[in-house]
A = this chain, B = another copy of it.
Amino acid sequence: MATIQDIARISGYSIGTVSRVINNRADVSAEARRKIEEVVREQNYQPNSSARMLRQSISSEISIVVRGVRNVFLQSLLEGVQIRIRDNGEIANVQFIRETDDEVAVAVQVLQNLKPKGLIFLGGSTKNFQEDFSKINVPSVLISADASGLGFDNLSSFTTDDVNAAARAVGELVSQGHRRIGILGGYPGDAEGMRPNDSPAQRIRGALEELEKSGIAFDLERDYEESPFSAEGGYHTAEKLLLRTPDLTAIFAISDSIAIGAMRAFRDMGLRVPEDISVVGFDGITAAKYSVPRLATIQQDATLLANKSVDDLLMRISYERTAVHEKIPYLYVNGESVAQPRE
């Protein structure tokens, strides 16, 4: 492996000048730049990142913290983020944590150990950010929760417009004539360490607003069941909800995984989807396109979320910019899981 010493010796310049060329500093003569760049190419020289990090006491990597390893939508988001980072010639490391772990606490530790130059959070609850994010001083992005209310100038956030999207999903059920609609998943209000700006809460909010606007009665105690973001969670909570409230004719699940588990539960209870009960999901994961019946859902734009987030982070790493908070458009996708209520 060639080092900066070799390049200096071969090119006839000092290592200082070589370093300046490598780092694209302006104060180098065109002549020196040309010659040194040629040698760099010839020798296939790659700067030693450890030495660089040691000197600058910051790594050249970006750390990604994924909260909720079972969440299929986050996986597609992660894929998009990784690809965008690589396409920009940057390197990322990933930390997977459980849905119950504290992503900010993990990030603080990662920051100490790996010294990333930027952080990306996939999934997360604004509560943890509120409490501990002040310990983090590198540019960061939170994807899938709105951090605008938190007031950190090094934290951007990109998210689907959860309130409107959920309202749209419920609106589809209402327009089919449903008046007895159940909700699966999410957290109403300030429960369980969640905050009103987290997407589970936002989706509930959008759904409730739409119901109210349509003059449809809804009772959280009776028509709603909390659920983890998984098919397994959806299966069990759907069963529980429908045993308690058998007159429901439609379900809004705040994630496709939950919806798919719910559809399977209904089937096992002897109910047909959509003839006996309609289901709408949220996310637009692959499984929703191939399920039987095909799931009607809100399609989030994972690619756009990923690309915008990475681009914003890279800009803020290199230049002085303020954090932004942006809502990404969604699409309602028809499926086979919604029909008019019986009789």
Contacts and interface: CB of A to CB of B under 8 A. Distances in A.
Interface string A84-118: 00100001111110000000000000001111000
A231 B286 contact: yes
Given A113-B91, A235-B290, A264-B290, A79 B51 contact: no
A288 to B, nearest CB: 10
Nearest to A267: B292
Contacts of A226: none
A44 B134 CA distance: 20
Contacts of A115: 50
Given A53-B50, A75-B75, A114-B49, A61 B93 contact: yes
B59 A83 contact: no
Q: How many copies does the complex hold?
A: 2
Interface residues of A, number: 43
Given A69-B79, A231-B290, A291-B291, A50 B46 contact: no
A324 B91 CA distance: 31
A263 interface: yes
B59 A50 contact: yes
A46 B53 CA distance: 16
Given A46-B113, A50-B115, A264-B292, A287 B95 contact: no
A298 to B, nearest CB: 19
Interface string A258-294: 0011011001000000000000000000110111101
A339 to B, nearest CB: 16
A126 interface: no
A197 interface: no
Contacts of A46: 112-113
Contacts of A290: 231, 235, 260-261, 263-264
8 contacts: A50-B57, A54-B54, A82-B94, A91-B114, A93-B93, A231-B286, A231-B287, A263-B292
Interface of A: 1, 46, 48-51, 53-54, 57, 59, 61, 69, 75, 79, 82-83, 86, 91-96, 112-115, 230-232, 235, 260-261, 263-264, 267, 286-287, 289-292, 294
